[in-house]
Structure 1
Amino acid sequence: MLSKRVSVMRAGLRGGSALAAMMMVMGTAMAQTDEPEAIDGGEGIVVTGSRIPRPDVDSNSPVNVIGVDEIKQTGTVETEQLLNSLPQAVAGAGAQSNSGNGSATVNLRNLGAARTLVLQNGRRIVGASQDGVVDINMIPTAMIERIEVVTGGASAVYGSDAMAGVVNFVTKTNFQGMEIGAQYGISDEGDANRYNIDFTVGGNFADGRGNIVFNGNYYDREMVKGAARDHASLFLVDAVQNGKGVLVPGGNGVTPQGTIFSPALVGKVDQFGNTIGTAGIFFAQEGWRAYKTSDGFNDRPYTNLQMPLKRWSAALTSHYDVTDNITAFFEGNYVRSELNSTLGAVPMSSSGFLPNFQFDLRNPYLAPSLRTFLSTHLDGDGDNLISININRRLLDFGSRTDDQTREFGRFVAGLKGGLTDKLNWEVFYNQGHVRITDVQGGGVLIDNFANAFLTNPNNPYDCLTTDVRCVTINPFGFMSMTKEMRDYIYTDLTNITVLDQKQAGASITGTLFSLPAGNVGISVGAEYRKESSTFTPDQLYIQGKALSRSAGIQRTGGSFDVKELYGELVVPILADMPFAQLLTFEGGIRYSDYSTAGGVTSWKAGGEYSPVKGVKFRGLYQRAVRAPNVVELFSGATNTAPQATDFCNASGANRTAAERTFCMTSLGVPSSVIDVFQQENVQIRAITGGNPALQEETSDTWSIGAVFRPAAVPNLQFTIDYYNIKIDGAIAAFGGGLQSVITACRANLSMSNIFCQPLTKRSSDGQLYDVPLLNANIASMETSGVDFRLDYRYQTNTFGSFSYYLAGSYLIKSVVQSSPIVAAVDCAGYIGGGSCGNANPVWRFTQRLTWDVNDALQLSLRHRFIGSTKDGRIAAAKASGAATPLLAVPSTGQISYFDLSASYAIDKTLSIYGTIDNLGDHNPPFQLYERDTFDAIGRRFTIGFRKQF
C-alpha cells in the first residue's frame, strides 16, 4: 500500500514538472513593455559589514544578499542549503551529515564554522554546542526577510568569531494578516521524505503604533541510510597493481566476525597454510585463519545519507511606539528538535580500551586447534592466560542509536529612538538558552567485556568474577553471542549539555555632521556578553567504563565574559568632481576585554573611489581576532582514535637503526619485541582537551574590488573582489594531530624534542595509547581568491520580465599548517585525504535565470557548478616532497546540478509551487565526496502552497 502511494505521488510530481515545461512554452504569447525596473526595486538594502546604514553594493566588504525571492524559489526550509550554494561558503554540517548533533552550520572560506559569526537582526545567537557554533535551523525560514553574508574579517564591527565573515538573518518585523504554508518533498527513489507546515499571523494594534507577528512551524525529515543508494553501499580501497592505481574490495578491519592479534603471531602459519600478518587471525565461516583484506567489514550501508529530524518552533516579534520618538521592540524564539538517528555497530578493541587485557584459553567456545596454536606460541608460563588484542564490531547489538532532544530559547528586548533628526540610539538585552539531552544506545561496558573473557576453571561457561550476571563470552564468528552475553556487556548512556548566553548593548548610529562631499556617518557603542556552558557526560563515560559514540569523555564546564567598546566612521572626502564622483574613507576599531584572553583590539581601514558614475573601486584592510571558546578552554580530557602510523613498527617504511634504538631506549618499546613490534590498530587512542592558557587567534584580511553599473545597459550590475585572509595562532590540537606529532618526532629523535615526549605513553607491550594532544595556539591558515557577481533584469512588452544572476569564486590558495614543524598544505583544488577536509574547488559558481509572467507565473532554473577537486593525499605528498600516490580515482571531476522551480498565483491570496532539485539525478563523485558538498540523495521533488487570509 505504501509503495503504491509513493508511486502515485512520484507520478503526480513528474506530471507537474511536465505541466511546468508546457506553461513555459505557452508563456511566449504574453505582452511586452518598455519600462525597466531598478535592480533593487528602487530602495537600498542595509547589509552586514557595517553598523552604519549603506546600500548593498556600496559596502566596502564583499557582500552577498539572499532575498526572499531566492528563498521562495529554492523551496527549501533547510537554510544551510541556501548558504552552501554561495561560492564563498564551504559546506558545513547539515541534513546530509553522517553523524553529529543534527545542527546546520555555516563555514565561510573553509576557515571553520567557529570562525563564522551568525547573527539575527544584527545580534548574537546562543550556540548549539560548546564551541559557540550556531545551529541556523533555529531561525524559522518563513520569518526570514533576507540573509546578508559578508566575507572576510569583521571583528571590528561585530566582535570575536567574525574572522571568516558574518551571516546575518534579517527577520520580518511588520506583517499584517494570516498566512499558512505547507510543502511535501520526496526523492526520485521514493524516500527522503520531508514535511513542513508554517503558520504566520500578525497585525497592527494601538491605532498603528504597534505590530506583532507570530510564526509556528513543524518540520519532519526522514532518515536515509547508505544502503538505499548504490554509490554509498560499496567499500573499495586504493591499491596498486601492475604499476597502476586500482580500486579493490576492502572494509573496516574491526569486523562482526572478530579478529585477534599479537606481534608474536606475525609470520606464523594458520591451519590452512596462510601466513599471519599484522591484521592477525580472522574467524571465518570455514574456521580461524589469517585475516585477508577482503574480510573487512563494509560499514557503508550503515552510514546516514540524510539525518532524521523533527522540529517544532514558535517565534514572536513585536514593536510598539511608546512615544513619537521611542520604540520598544521584542524578539522571541522557542525551538524543540528531536533527532533519532543510528550509526553502525560499536567497534570494540581491547588494546584501545583495556591495555592489560587477558584472554583465557579455557574459553569453551575457542576451537581446540586454535587453543593449541595460541598456547604453543603465547602461553609460555602455562597458566592459560595470554596477552592478546581482540577486535570485534558488536553487530550482535544492532546499530548504535542516538536519541537527542534539543530545546532552544532566545529573547531580545530593547528600546530605540532618535537622539537628533540624524542620530539614532538603541539599547537592548539578549538572552539565549539551549539544553541538549543525548541518549546513546548500543554501547558496551568495558570492564564487563573484559570479565567475560576470564573463565571459571571449575565451569568454563561461567566467569571468574563473582558477578552472577556474567557468562563467558563467545566472540568467535558472526552473530555468535547469546542474549545473556549481550545483556551483560550492553549499556545505554546519557549526556546533557547546557549553554547560556547573555548580551547587553547600547549604540548611537547615524550622521554626525555634513561635509561638502556628503554626510559623515558614525556608529559608536558598548556591549557586554557572557558565555557559559556545561557538558555532563554519563558517569560511565567519565569513569572510562563504557564505549559508544565516544569513550572516556570528561565533564566540560566554564564561562567567560567580555566588555567591548567600538566605533565606526565613514567620511566622504570628495564628491561630484571631475574624475572624483566619490571618494570616501571608512574606519573602525573595537577594544574587547576578555576575562580569559585579556584585552584585544581589532580594527579596519579602507575606502571607496568612484572616478565616474557607474564605476566604483573599493578596498578594505581588517585586523580580526577570535578569543578561544568554552570547549577550547575548558573541555575535559576526551579519548579520540585518529588514524596514525607509529614509526616504531618493525615493518614500517624505512625504519632506520637509529629509530629502532630510540623506540627501544627512549619511547618504551620492550627490547624483547622490538624486532617484531607492530601497532595493533590503524587507529591509536589519543587524549584531546582544553587549555585555559590559550590566547586569541589573530587574522589580517584585505580585499580590493570594483563595482560596475554601466549607464548604457540599465539594470546591469557587476562586482569583482580579490580577498586575502591570513590567520596566525590558530587553535588546534597539539602538534596538529597525532600523525603530525609522530612525524615531527621522527624528524628529530631526541627527548628534548617536545613532539617526542607524548609518544612515551605506551602499554607494557609497547603499544601507543592515550597520547596527550591538548589544545594549543599552534596552527596557521591562509586563503585568497576572487569573488564575482553579475545581476541583470530585462522587462519585455510581450514575454514578461527576465532576471539573471551569476555568483562565483576563483580560489587561489587555501593553505593549512597544523603546526610549525609540519609542511603547509595548499588545499585549493583538493578534497579530503586527511589534510584538506571538505571540497575546495578552484572554480565554483551559482547562476539563476527567472522568468516572471504578469506577476502570476514564475519559472526559474538554477545551475550550481562545483569544479573538479583532486584527492587531498596528492596535496599532502606535494607539500612534503613525497612521490605522488598512484590512485584509481585521483579527482572528482566537475559537477553541475540543475534545479527547476515554478510557482503560480491562482489569485492574490493563494499560490502553489513546485521544485525539482538535481534535475539530472547526478550521483556524487565516487570515492571522493563528502556528504555536505555533493548531493548524496539524487533527484528530489517538492510541492507546496501558500495561502493568505
Structure 2
Amino acid sequence: MGSKGVMARRRSLRDGTAIILAAFAAEAAVAQTADDAIAAESAASQPGAEDSIVITGSRIPRPDIVSNSPVNVISAEEIQLTAANETEQILNSMPQFTAGFGSQSNNPGNGTATVNLRNLGTVRTLVLMNGRRIVGSGEDGVVDINLIPPALIERIDVVTGGASAVYGSDAMAGVVNFVMKDDFEGVEIGAQAGISERGDSARYNVDLTVGGNFAEGRGNIVFYANYFKREQTFASARDHATEFLVDSVQNGVGVLVPGGNAVTPQGTIFSPALVGRTDQFGNVIGPQGIFFAEEGWRAYRTSDGFNDRPFNNLQLPLERIQGAVLGHYDVTDGVTFFWEGTYARNRVKSALGPLPMSSSGFIPGFQLDLRNPYLDPSLRDFLSASLDGDGDGLVPLNINRRVLESGPRTSDQQRDFWRGVIGLRGGLTDRLNWEVFFNHGENDLTDQQGGGVYIDRFAAMFLTDPDDPYACANGDPKCVVINPFGLGSLTPEMVDYYDVDLTNMTRVRQTQVGGTLSGSLFTLPAGDVGIALGAEYRRESASFRPDQLYVLGEAISRSAGLQPTGGSYDVSEVFGEIYVPILADRPGFELLAFEGGVRYSDYSTAGSVVSYKAGGEYSPIRGIKFRGLYQRAVRAPNITELYSGATNTAPLATDFCNATPTRTAAERTFCMELGVPASLIDVFQQENVQIRAITGGNPDLHEETSDTWSVGAVIRPEFVPNLQVTVDYYNIKISDAIAVFGGGLQPTINACRTELSLANPFCVPLATRTPDGQLQDVPLLNQNIAEITASGIDFRLDYRHGIGRYGELSYFLAGAYLFENETTSSPVLNPIDCAGYIGGGSCGSANPHWRFTQRLTWEQDIYQVSLRHRFIGSATDGRFAAAISTGSAPPLLAVPKTPDVHYFDLSASVRINERFRFYGTVDNLFDRDPPFQLYERQTYDAIGRRFTVGITANF
C-alpha cells in the first residue's frame, strides 16, 4: 500500500476512535442507578446461590467462588474492554505472568502464543479448556493459545501454584483454564480494525456466533466462525529497534558504541597464521581476520560489524481462520450429552536476517582457491606468501559471509489444529453428579523455510576449473565460481546455484479419556462434606520430520543439522479430593474447614508418581477468611525432553578463553588444552557473541517434583459493600528440574571455571572447537540437573460503587511483588537469583520486583469509559545477578537497569440500541517506547500507540 493509502487508513481508524470517545462528552439521556449488590470482578461470573460452581483449583462443586488455591479470574467484561483478539495480550497484562512467545516474538519465536506463569517456563504451566487438556503445538506439549476462540471465552481462571493433584502433570507453576460459553441464543456479529500511530501493524478481525435451543429447550447448540489478520512490522520501522549497540568501557566508564555481528555481507577471511601480520594499509590483522571493505581488503574492525536488527520482526504476521461448535442435549431428565468441536488454521510468515554462512563447521577442510578471478591480486599474493606453503594455489582458512543477496531467512508456517470432546453427565443422587468424556486433539505444522544455503554447492563454487576461471571444477554447467569478496558481490546466477528452500513437518496427537464423580457425601453440623473422585487415561504422541537436507547436514537456514524427533507416552491416573467443614457459625469460628487431595499417576516413561495437597480455610468472622495450602506437584518429561534429535541453537555466551585482562594464567594454559592454538592464545577472541550449541533429548530423564505452599486472606467487609481484597504469599521449589546440560552454555562455561580440568564434566563439552579454537556445536543434552525457587506476594482489590444518576464506577488492582526467582543450573554452581533482573545471558525475560495492573471503569446507561494502567517495575541487567552469584566484580555498563515503565490504555463504548454496540480503544495512550537497549519484546510494547475501532451487532 502506498504512503497515501497508509495515511488515509491511519486517519480513518484514529478518527473513528476519537468519534466514539467524543460521544461521552454528551450528557446521558437516561441516568441509571447502580445496583448495590453487584459483585466484585473476581466473582463477576458467579451464578445464583442455588447453583453449585466449579472454580479452577478444585473439582469439588461449591457455592463459594473463592478457592483455597489463589485464583485470579479474568472476566468476560475485562476481555471485552481490552478488545484483544490475541489472548496472550490479556494474560501478559496480569502480574503473575512473564511473557512467553507472542505477536512480538521473533528470535526466539515460532509464531505461537504461549503462557508462562511465574517465569517457571511454559512447559510448567498447564492450559485447559473447560477443565480438559488441549493438544500442544509441538513436541514439548506447550499449547498455542492462538487456537482458542477468543469470542467464546466466558472467563479465564488462573491458579497460581502447583495443581498436579487436581489436574495432573505440567501444573507446577499453575493452571490457566479457559471457560467457554456453552449456552447462547441468537446471532452476534463482531468486526474490528486496528492500526498503529505510524500507520502500520494493522489488525483485522471478524466474528460470527450463532446459537439457539432445540428439541423444546432440551438442547442448545452454538456455532462460531472467526477470521483474523495481523500484518507484519519490521524492526526497521522503529528507531528504538534499529540500532546495534554494544557495551564498552572507555576511561573507566561504561558506554554504548556501535557494534554488529561479525559475520558481515562484505565477508571476512581468517587463519591463525594471519594474526599479527599487516594488511595493505599497515593495519595489524587480529583474530577476526581480513575484512573486504569498500576501500579494499584490510584488518577487521569492531565498527565493521553487520547490523541485523532492522531485518527482524517487531510484529509477526498472522492469518487465522477458526470454527467451533459447542452444545448439549438432555438425553433424559437426568442425563446430558455434550460436545465441543474446534478447528483453526494459522498462517505465519516471519523473517530473520540473511543467513550468516561460515565455512568453519560446515565445510570440513575448506580451502580457498587462489585462482578465483574475483580475488584482489594484492590479496592473492599476500595469501600465497602467507599460507600456500606447497604452492598448489589452495590455502586453508575460514571464510565468513552473510549472504545478504539471498534475502532474509523466511518461515512460512501453516498450522492446522482440531479438537473434539464428547461426553455424558448427570446426577447419580441428589448430592452426587458424574461425568465421563472423550477428548482428542491433533495439531499439524508445515514450515517452509527460505533463504537457505545448499552447503555442498556453496563449497563447490569456491573451486575453479583450471581451464576456465569462471567455471567450477565440479563440471556442473549450472555452477559458477563465487565472488564473496565485498558488499553486493553475489550475482543472481551465484545465488540461484546455492539457494535452497527447506520444509519441516510436525505432527502432535493427544487423546484423553476420563470420568469424575463429585458432589457431597453427607452433611455435618458445619456443612456439606464435598468429594471428587475420578480416573483418567491420556496418550501423547508427537513427531518432527525435518527436511532431509537438514538431516544429512547438507543445508543450513534457520537451523543446521536438525534430526528427527518421534515418540509417545501414556499415563493412567486415579485421583480424589475431599473438603470437610469442621466448625461453622460459632463464636470465633464463622468457618473452619479442611481440604485434601491425592493423585496417583503411572507413566509409561517416568513410572509411578504421587502428587497431593492439604490445606484449609479459617474464617473467624463473616467477611474475613484465611486460607492456606501445601501441594506436591510432579511433571513427567515431555516428548521433546525425552526424544528430541540433536538441534543447533546459538545462545549468547562468553568464552573464558578470550584474551582479556581478567583471564588468569591457569585459564590461559587450560584453554590450550581445550584446543585454542598456542599461536593464538594471546590474541584469541570469539568470532561471535552467539556460540553454536547442540541440544537434544535424553530418554533416561525422570520426573520433576515441586513443593508449593501458599497462605493468604480474603477480606469482604460488610461495612463496605462490593469491596473484596485478597492477599496471598506463595513459595514454589522445583527439584530435579529438566534443563539442558549445565543449565545452558554460559552456566556450563561458568561451571568449568570452578575446576579447570577435563575431569570436570562441565569442561568436557568445551573441548568441542574448530581448528582455530572457536567453540562450536557444544553438546548440551537434557538432564535432571536444575533447582528452581520462586516466592512472592499477590494482591488484588475489587470495588464497585454506584454514583446515583451519574452511573457506576468499578475498579480493580491486581499486583505482585517478587521476592525470589532463583535457579541453580548445576550442583557445582551458586544459584542465580533473577528477581529484579532482566536478560544478561542469565535471567531471560524481565523479572521486576513490582508489577501491577489497575483499571477504572465508568458506566452510565448506554455509555462506558475505562482506563487501564499497567506498571512494570525497574529491572537490572542480569549480568549483575551473574556477578553476584559468582562473586565477580560488577560489570561497567552504560545502561545498568530499565526505568519503571507505565502504560495507559483507554477504551470506550456506546450501545446505540439493543442490537448495536460501537467501541474504540487506544493502547499505549502516551506512546511509551520500550526501555532503551534493555528489553524483550513480549514484556514491553515495541509498536507504540495503537487505535482500534469495532462494532458488535446482536439479532
User: 2:880 is matched by which residue type in structure 1?
Assistant: I
Where does residue 238 of structure 1 map in the other structure? 247
From the superposition, tell whether residues 297 and 308 of structure 1 become closer, same or farther in structure 2 (CA, over 3 Å).
same
- Structure 2 Cα separation of the partners of residues 34 and 479 of structure 1: 69
Any residues of structure 2 matched to 1:603-614 within 5 Å, and which?
603-614=612-623
* 2:55 corresponds to 1:47: yes
Q: CA deviation at 1:352?
A: 3.3
* 2:885 corresponds to 1:879: yes
State which drifts further: 348-357 or 921-930: 348-357
Counterpart of 2:880 in 1: which secondary structure? helix
Q: CA deviation at 1:237?
A: 1.3
Where does residue 580 of structure 1 map in the other structure? 589
Contact kept, 8 Å, 2:852 with 2:870, in 1: the verdict is yes
Task: Tell me the alpha carbon deviations over residues 445-487 of structure 1, each in whole angstroms, 9 at most, x when there is no partner.
Answer: 1122112112223322222223332221100001101122111
State which drifts further: 370-379 or 300-309: 370-379
State which drifts further: 507-516 or 1-10: 1-10
Where does residue 476 of structure 1 map in the other structure? 485
Where does residue 808 of structure 2 map in the other structure? 801
From the superposition, tell whether residues 668 and 893 of structure 1 become closer, same or farther in structure 2 (CA, over 3 Å).
closer
Where does residue 941 of structure 2 map in the other structure? 935
State which drifts further: 402-411 or 468-477: 468-477
Contact kept, 8 Å, 1:263 with 1:676, in 2: the verdict is no
* Alignment counterpart, residue 726 of structure 1, candidates 730, 733, 742: 733
Any residues of structure 2 matched to 1:656-667 within 5 Å, and which?
656-664=664-672, 666-667=673-674
Where does residue 7 of structure 1 map in the other structure? 7
- Gapped runs of 5+ residues in structure 2? none
* 2:719 corresponds to 1:712: yes
TM-score of the superposition, structure 1-length normalised? 0.97
User: 1:881 is matched by which residue type in structure 2?
Assistant: G
Task: Tell me the alpha carbon deviations over residues 631-666 of structure 1, each in whole angstroms, 9 at most, x when there is no partner.
Answer: 1000011122333344445x24544444444444x5
Task: Tell me the alpha carbon deviations over residues 836-859 of structure 1, each in whole angstroms, 9 at most, x when there is no partner.
Answer: 1111111110011111102x1111
From the superposition, tell whether residues 626 and 284 of structure 1 become closer, same or farther in structure 2 (CA, over 3 Å).
same
* 2:134 corresponds to 1:125: yes
- Structure 1 Cα separation of the partners of residues 32 and 678 of structure 2: 89
* Alignment counterpart, residue 98 of structure 2, candidates 78, 86, 90: 90
- Structure 2 Cα separation of the partners of residues 56 and 753 of structure 1: 56
Counterpart of 1:111 in 2: which secondary structure? coil
Counterpart of 1:442 in 2: which secondary structure? strand
* Alignment counterpart, residue 71 of structure 1, candidates 57, 79, 99: 79
From the superposition, tell whether residues 35 and 336 of structure 1 become closer, same or farther in structure 2 (CA, over 3 Å).
closer
- Structure 2 Cα separation of the partners of residues 838 and 93 of structure 1: 11
* Alignment counterpart, residue 905 of structure 1, candidates 905, 908, 911: 911
From the superposition, tell whether residues 862 and 49 of structure 1 become closer, same or farther in structure 2 (CA, over 3 Å).
same
Contact kept, 8 Å, 1:29 with 1:798, in 2: the verdict is no
Where does residue 848 of structure 2 map in the other structure? 841
Task: Tell me the alpha carbon deviations over residues 510-530 of structure 1, each in whole angstroms, 9 at most, x when there is no partner.
Answer: 111111100011001000000
- Structure 2 Cα separation of the partners of residues 235 and 735 of structure 1: 30
- Structure 2 Cα separation of the partners of residues 347 and 682 of structure 1: 13
Task: Tell me the alpha carbon deviations over residues 112-156 of structure 1, each in whole angstroms, 9 at most, x when there is no partner.
Answer: 111000000000000011110001111111111111101010011
- Structure 2 Cα separation of the partners of residues 839 and 54 of structure 1: 37
State which drifts further: 739-748 or 861-870: 739-748
TM-score of the superposition, structure 2-length normalised? 0.97
Counterpart of 1:773 in 2: which secondary structure? strand
Counterpart of 1:478 in 2: which secondary structure? coil
* Alignment counterpart, residue 330 of structure 1, candidates 333, 339, 357: 339
Where does residue 639 of structure 1 map in the other structure? 648
From the superposition, tell whether residues 277 and 317 of structure 1 become closer, same or farther in structure 2 (CA, over 3 Å).
same
From the superposition, tell whether residues 794 and 654 of structure 1 become closer, same or farther in structure 2 (CA, over 3 Å).
closer
Q: CA deviation at 1:532?
A: 0.2
- Structure 2 Cα separation of the partners of residues 56 and 442 of structure 1: 57
Task: Tell me the alpha carbon deviations over residues 4-48 of structure 1, each in whole angstroms, 9 at most, x when there is no partner.
Answer: 444344334444454455444444886464751231467376321
- Structure 2 Cα separation of the partners of residues 831 and 746 of structure 1: 24
Q: CA deviation at 1:370?
A: 1.1
Q: CA deviation at 1:696?
A: 0.6
- Structure 2 Cα separation of the partners of residues 90 and 132 of structure 1: 19
User: 1:455 is matched by which residue type in structure 2?
Assistant: T
- Matched-pair identity in %: 67
Contact kept, 8 Å, 1:57 with 1:63, in 2: the verdict is no
User: 1:604 is matched by which residue type in structure 2?
Assistant: K
From the superposition, tell whether residues 673 and 32 of structure 1 become closer, same or farther in structure 2 (CA, over 3 Å).
closer
Where does residue 187 of structure 1 map in the other structure? 196
User: 1:732 is matched by which residue type in structure 2?
Assistant: A
Counterpart of 1:58 in 2: which secondary structure? coil
Where does residue 517 of structure 2 map in the other structure? 508
* 2:179 corresponds to 1:175: no
Contact kept, 8 Å, 2:291 with 2:298, in 1: the verdict is yes
Where does residue 313 of structure 2 map in the other structure? 304
State which drifts further: 305-314 or 483-492: 483-492
* Alignment counterpart, residue 286 of structure 2, candidates 267, 274, 277: 277
State which drifts further: 256-265 or 157-166: 256-265
Where does residue 742 of structure 1 map in the other structure? 749
Q: CA deviation at 1:737?
A: 1.7
Contact kept, 8 Å, 2:553 with 2:561, in 1: the verdict is yes
How many residues were matched structurally? 946
* Alignment counterpart, residue 692 of structure 1, candidates 692, 699, 706: 699
Task: Tell me the alpha carbon deviations over residues 567-597 of structure 1, each in whole angstroms, 9 at most, x when there is no partner.
Answer: 1111000000101100010001111111001
- Structure 1 Cα separation of the partners of residues 562 and 265 of structure 2: 25
Task: Tell me the alpha carbon deviations over residues 184-218 of structure 1, each in whole angstroms, 9 at most, x when there is no partner.
Answer: 01111011111100011011111111110000000
* 2:497 corresponds to 1:491: no
From the superposition, tell whether residues 12 and 638 of structure 1 become closer, same or farther in structure 2 (CA, over 3 Å).
closer
Counterpart of 1:529 in 2: which secondary structure? strand
From the superposition, tell whether residues 662 and 859 of structure 1 become closer, same or farther in structure 2 (CA, over 3 Å).
closer
From the superposition, tell whether residues 786 and 713 of structure 1 become closer, same or farther in structure 2 (CA, over 3 Å).
same
* Alignment counterpart, residue 796 of structure 2, candidates 789, 792, 804: 789
From the superposition, tell whether residues 234 and 740 of structure 1 become closer, same or farther in structure 2 (CA, over 3 Å).
same
Task: Tell me the alpha carbon deviations over residues 151-193 of structure 1, each in whole angstroms, 9 at most, x when there is no partner.
Answer: 0100110000000000000111100111111000111101111
From the superposition, tell whether residues 592 and 894 of structure 1 become closer, same or farther in structure 2 (CA, over 3 Å).
same
Q: CA deviation at 1:796?
A: 2.3
* 2:81 corresponds to 1:81: no
